[in-house]
A and B are shown apart, each in its own frame.
Chain A
Amino acid sequence: MPQLADLQADFAAALADPSLPAPAGLKRQTVLAQSRRFDVYRNNRMVSLIEAMEAAFPVVQRLVGNDFFKAVAKSYIRRFPPRTPVLLLYGESFGDFLEDFEPAAGVPYLGDVARLEWVRLAAYHAADAEPLSIARVAELPQELLPELRFALHPSLHLLNSRWPAASLWAVTSGADPSRAVDMKAGEAVAVLRPMLSVEVRVLLPDGYAFLFALAAGNSLSVAAERALTIDDQFDLARHLQGLFALGAVAAIHLPDSFSQQA
């Protein structure tokens, strides 16, 4: 009977559950049980994962305080331990977890602040792509414009919050400490990293609908229609400018009809 499998199963179970005794099979170097020695492993694991979460969610940590953060991070790690050795994006479901975390029920915006911090992280580590200039659109025959589709930048993430998530983030992180925060106003947010630094932009509802439709692969004309249903004053030319100025377009897909002609 192979011992290694049994030994590692016992060790892993005791590591994950501090109510269990240290695993059987440890050598007794002293007359005492080796609980403090085994606890080094429990502690290394928990402390290092809490530190990873502190690095990923510094604004949530600042909002709730160090002790509360450690406690909630510990619960999260127990419930959703990492499933991959790459911890760069660990905590994707932390926003959902916070929303259901009873002791944080009085702070209903925490979940969205955590989601914003996670998408900033995702944007930071996303694939690189050279943002296109709007001059590329100007070179195309104008009659093609309505049928254009865009591959948006791989780092682009959209977040529609019932809370002023971006303003809360900006004020608490120190990125914009004097910004006014209207707790009654939700914020639709675009996060992206066109070059090296991650940008967070608050969008108006029509702009968000436009970007959301483009991100889903719709043509420019369909995206503009969606935006017009939100605001009949939607200005396509201005938003197209804004989109390229933000560095959000990585490629332009011409309509099939045009490709066939060419």
Chain B
Amino acid sequence: MAGMTVSAAAPARAGVGLKAQHYEDILGQRPDIGWFEVHAENYMGAGGPPHHYLEAIRRDYPISLHGVGLSIGADRPLDESHLQRLKVLNDRYEPGLVSEHLAWSSHGGVFFNDLLPLPYTGEAVAHVSEHIDRVQSVLGRRILLENPSTYVSFEVSEMSELDFLQAVSLRTGCYLLLDVNNVLVSATNQNFSAEDYIDAFPMEAVREIHLAGHARDRDDAGNVLLIDAHDRAVDDKVWSLYARSIARAGMTPTLIEWDNDVPAWKTLFAEARTAERIMVTQYALQAEMAHAAAG
């Protein structure tokens, strides 16, 4: 991209999901924030204001490209024209990170606009891995794969979600995006321990962390069902799991996702500051503990 003045790499700081409502605030105030993430599909128009603003913001900040429509988990071959659109954005904006979801979202030519769950089987590992190989070879870079929020699971599953992610990462060399809110949502809905999941997550492959707010509902049995709504501030339990994640992963680019009921810029920026304070504090504590252990 012409006129880029900032390095592409997303720093180990907090960033936020870029929303059109905040374009003017960001360009007017040039806030001290590490980076921005965009949903790739929102920038797949030919031209117009979205590209105008993203180019202006990219001049001053690294960005991350987060796909929500590639349907990596589908049993069908990838949509090559969609992959080409992603490549065009990757070439144009030189994002520091490119990520997608462990999910499927299209079937029979219809796009469902939701991240649908996969059975954790060897067959699905093979499909997902094949698709990630293809994405990585077209883009010429490694991508990050995000752990999902789930509301159901499948009888045919043969392995845990962690084993599934680990297997795909090993087969394809892809990195992982640890979404801490998704961990709490899935752990609550599927009745496993979020702490154990974080403690066992393959942190050596993690290149980005996501944080977001969730909604509460109930299932048919009256059990709490958490919904990955991205419509409010990060929950206290998620902050605590985030600190636990940083303690293991070290300083890691961390994103605040707030996609619905989007707040004023000031509020979103404050969430990013909180994440950054927790990250720096945890890192210092770990360094101190390592020092004490060595001494």
* B-binding residues in A (CB < 8 A): 2-5, 7-9, 11-12, 15-16, 22, 25-27, 29-38, 40-41, 44-45, 48-49, 52, 81-89, 124-128, 154-155, 193, 196
Contacts and interface: CB of A to CB of B under 8 A. Distances in A.
A49 B113 contact: yes
Contacts of B51: 128
B47 A127 contact: yes
A25 B116 CA distance: 14
B114 A85 contact: no
25 contacts: A3-B119, A4-B119, A7-B119, A8-B75, A25-B119, A25-B156, A26-B154, A27-B157, A33-B220, A36-B219, A45-B112, A45-B113, A49-B113, A82-B111, A83-B111, A85-B105, A85-B106, A86-B44, A88-B45, A126-B47, A126-B48, A127-B46, A128-B46, A154-B46, A154-B47
B85 A2 contact: no
B152 A38 contact: yes
Contacts of A31: 221
Nearest to A86: B44
Name the interface size band of chain B. Answer: 35 or more
Contacts of B70: 85
Contacts of B50: 125
Nearest to A83: B109
A49 to B, nearest CB: 6
User: A8, A26, A125, A126: which has the most chain B beta carbons within 10 Å?
Assistant: A8
B82 interface: yes
Given A27-B153, A36-B219, A40-B151, A196 B49 contact: yes
Contacts of A86: 41, 44-45, 69, 82, 85
B221 A32 contact: yes
Nearest to A52: B113
Contact of A124 (B49, B79, B124): B49
Contact of B71 (A7, A41, A44, A85): A85
Contacts of B107: 8-9, 11-12
Nearest to B106: A85
B113 A11 contact: no
B189 A37 contact: yes
Contact of B154 (A27, A45, A89): A27
A124 B51 CA distance: 11
B220 A88 contact: no
Interface string B146-180: 00000111111100000000000000000000000
A37 B151 contact: yes
B53 to A, nearest CB: 9
Contacts of A196: 48-49, 52
Contact of A125 (B47, B219, B220): B47
Contact of B111 (A3, A85, A124): A85
A31 B223 CA distance: 12
Contacts of A34: 152, 219-220
B42 interface: yes
A82 B221 CA distance: 34
Contacts of B277: none
A7 B156 contact: yes
Given A32-B220, A34-B219, A37-B152, 10 more contacts: A2-B75, A3-B123, A8-B107, A83-B111, A85-B70, A85-B82, A85-B106, A87-B41, A126-B45, A126-B46
A81 B42 CA distance: 18
Interface string B105-144: 1111111111010110101100100000000000000000
Contacts of A193: 48
Nearest to A3: B156
B242 interface: no
A82 B52 contact: no
B35 interface: no
B281 to A, nearest CB: 35
B5 to A, nearest CB: 21
B75 A4 contact: yes
A88 to B, nearest CB: 5
B74 A8 contact: yes
B274 interface: no
Contacts of A35: 220
Contacts of B69: 85-86
A34 B104 CA distance: 20
B39 to A, nearest CB: 10
A152 to B, nearest CB: 15
A140 B199 CA distance: 73
B114 A16 contact: no
Contacts of A87: 41, 111, 113
B225 interface: yes
A11 B75 CA distance: 12
Nearest to B104: A8
User: B51, B105, B152, B190: which has the most chain A beta carbons within 10 Å?
Assistant: B152
A25 B155 contact: yes
A9 B104 CA distance: 12
Contacts of A8: 74-75, 104, 107, 116
